Structure 1
């Protein structure tokens, strides 16, 4: 066979093999692409299941933050809410929330969890030395002696019966400046409880004590829920200040009308806070109201109080009251006893100058002179401090101290300089 023909045959064979190799490689690539496509399709249709994790509901998580059983009763305590009902309400807040507002429900759960930390028990026992405390209070504020004596009688009767006291509401009548608010503060210290002031001179709703309605965006719990359910005492003192000055709202409603339920022990034992919708016992609360004109208090409300008319203190009472308010102001502004004890007592002349002021003016003046002493780095009050503070404290309603033209009732301060 001619050589040229052989070369042609070899070239064709070589070309054939090259084509077969190329076709084989193409088939491999096509097969790989097909498998990749099938793998992707299978992944989309049947995704890989996530790892199995045990699901814990939010309710179960919350249950771990509150006791599952009522904590044991402590000495000198009373229950102020139903433990089982509170626990059921706490658990139901997740399954059947009382509001579509998740933040509001979350707030409710947090409040109930805090309330249930110590169980339903709250302190009720008066201090062992309450007799001595009230005796000292009578000596300090003798114009309130009938009130303190009435309270001592009720405490003694409850102590004899071995039952917690449901104190009757007390109404203090008298002119401004006789020390009604200061008496409520001192009484709370004598009874070992707390005091909360609720002013009625600007009150237009009853939300201060029982909370505001849930439909309001800024709804908040009331003072009774804060003091009793979230606090430590079942018997706080609520000072209903200037009860005769409550404003009348729409449709003739007065905030003072809401007191009718609170002032009756039977109904007060099952009141409900309007914001959190939680029922509790407020029948151990001491209600002390102040007023200047009792005729402006609705008769149904006034009839629930035991009334006392407070007369202004005499000169001896004024001197003791001025010293007491100054001491209370110093204690409030300088809580540390070690630091507070370094302040020297007021001089007789300084006490006399304070004695002509109303209790509120004494407090304001005491705050100023203590600040002046602290700024100057002194542990005593100088007469110049009073000179600067007194002119800025104006007598109420432009009144000066009462004048008595009977020479038999006249008095004078005799100031004796210590020769030493």
Structure 2
């Protein structure tokens, strides 16, 4: 058996999140600092080590807005707020997506350029500018990712998928049921509480995969942070670190019409192949998976690309949900992968449920997945899972990122 610390690129030793679906009064920079300090306080409460400002080699910041303002008019505000908390010489690296920030953070940890860092994501979606005219070019371009063009594209893809796979609208709604059921932490929940999504009379317009309203909301504030370190030192800090054993990123042509088959992501197939090879595992080893479900149809396409469920994944998930009794009340809906092993899709990690806060939603899902692995989740989905997979993508789906997380058992 391969020693995890020898193959891992980084280790997660602390996490912190501000509650999503809220609107915070702090400034943009203060939200980021609040999350970062929350991760520090969480670390110190679970470790015998007290941290000083000099311990950190840098901050990798993930935010759709911050990536546009750092280096320009917003530089002074960011330097001021982080200098007061982490020291005047702290290096700030900004990216538009959490998974991109994570990927670059891992690269530097693996290369030995840094040893102990903060990965933080933040964004303010509730400001007045974020509910203005999406055609206004002065608005942050990331806020226009979910305009009518992309929404219509995904609605068209959903229709094409159903036609070619000979599945129905009700089958596609099973993905929505899985997402909402597996994202819920409510005690006493049962499947019948979510089956109403399949009824056309009760269907919520904001959750219809065949309309241009099927997308995760971006109108909330959010912040999340993690502390990462080199894998060799992880056990010096905490008893149950989560190791990132692989991180792969791949970009394919961004135009759907250049693809031979719009019902798959070429970039995902390449990224996951690279991730599996680097982590020295295969799809049959995955215990829990978090796929990016900012749009409903993305879920089954991603599961197929990850090699976990063969096409048509929609049909297999729908058949499994229909086989369950309405009073089914286990913590999560569990599936069998193509190798016969039980695994769980999106444990507390539904993008739709969290909200698609650019630069933050991926970190929320990363933190939820890491908590499932180290046993600190409020709703533990599986006894002692060992390996988890996080998939994230851009609006078009052409930028794909896959991260493999493992714990030592």
TM-score of the superposition, structure 2-length normalised? 0.22
TM-score of the superposition, structure 1-length normalised? 0.21
Highest CA radius of gyration, 1 or 2? 1
The structure that is strand-richer by fraction is: 2
User: Which fold has the larger relative contact order, with Cα–Cα distance below 8 Å and residues 6 or more apart in sequence?
Assistant: 2
The structure that is helix-richer by fraction is: 1
